[in-house]
Amino acid sequence: MTIRFSIKDWIAWAPGLEDRAAWMAWARAPIAPRGDDRPTAAQVPAMLRRRLNRLGRMALECAYAIHPGEPCPVLFCSRHGDTERALALLSDLAAGQPLSPGSFGMSVHNAVGAVFSIARGDTANYSAIASGADSVESGVIEACGMLADGTPQVLLVAYDVELPGIYGAFADEPQASWAWAWLLESESGGGGTWSLEPSGPGGGPAGVLPHGLEVLRFILAGEAELAYGSGPWGWCWRRHD
């Protein structure tokens, strides 16, 4: 099974990488972004913005930047989600402390999408995707399913932050804080065209980037192919223009 799609527009944000020129330079000499900076997410109303931590602000900074304006499905894709809030809730639970309903509400995977929908007053479809190491691939597959059903455009927002130190022993890829968004169309949409298909058994040493950033680097660098393995299977990304 091979799926093909076009990327009409893109945007990304990470500490020290806040415009397209910086990202294009980074794609030629990639390193894992470091730093504690966070975007302003100024387009989110203040009463809602105060509920967002760094993870949510990065995601919505990108989502707002290239949203087409008219109703458009949005897929929010994060491998780990808000581990900071989840860990704080678990720590309170272990200590016998009462849990904050607000913190719980913002800790779930679809919380960022809900804030985006409320802030925009937007009733278009939004979804949250978490599929382990293959989260980005799962997001693209879901988006392409929507395009195949006749949706003109789908906004895919991918994002993650470093795991809290207590989870460090379980990390299986380099850690970084990053977010990017692609406005996807069908292959005939007029943007650059790529394909994604499953391949044989995967595996292998991690590179210098988390996988979500490695996929973005491949797209920006204009390379012909990216092979990626995750346990018993793998994926092949190809460029066609």
- Average pLDDT, stretch 158-168? 92
Phi, psi of 184 (to 5 degrees): -100, 145
Write out the two tokens for 156: 């895919």
- Average pLDDT, stretch 137-141? 97
Residue 119 pLDDT exceeds 70: yes
Supply the pLDDT for residue 116: 96
Higher per-residue pLDDT: 190 or 143: 143
Number of domains in the chain: 1
Nearest to 89 by CA among 79, 102, 78, 103: 103
Supply the pLDDT for residue 190: 60
Residue 75 pLDDT exceeds 60: yes
Residue 229 pLDDT exceeds 90: no
- Average pLDDT, stretch 142-157? 96
Nearest to 13 by CA among 74, 89, 64, 72: 64
Which residues constitute the domain of residue 228?
3-239
CATH of the domain at 74: 3.40.47.10
The lowest-confidence range among 79-88, 107-116, 171-180, 226-235 is 226-235
DSSP state of 161: -
- Average pLDDT, stretch 104-126? 93
Q: Rounded CA gap, 218 and 223, in Å? A: 6
Nearest to 76 by CA among 230, 153, 179, 172: 179
Confidence of residue 189 (pLDDT cuts 50, 70, 90): low
Tens-digit pLDDT profile for residues 199-220: 876 555 457 899 999 999 999 9
Supply the pLDDT for residue 165: 87
Q: Please tell me whether residue 201 adopts helix, strand or coil conformation.
A: coil
Confidence of residue 188 (pLDDT cuts 50, 70, 90): low
Average pLDDT over all residues of the chain: 92
Distance of CA 225 to the CA centre of its chain: 20
Query: What percent of the chain shows pLDDT beyond 70?
Result: 95
Q: Rounded CA gap, 41 and 135, in Å? A: 24
Residue 73 pLDDT exceeds 90: yes
Supply the pLDDT for residue 16: 95
Higher per-residue pLDDT: 104 or 180: 180
- Average pLDDT, stretch 125-132? 94
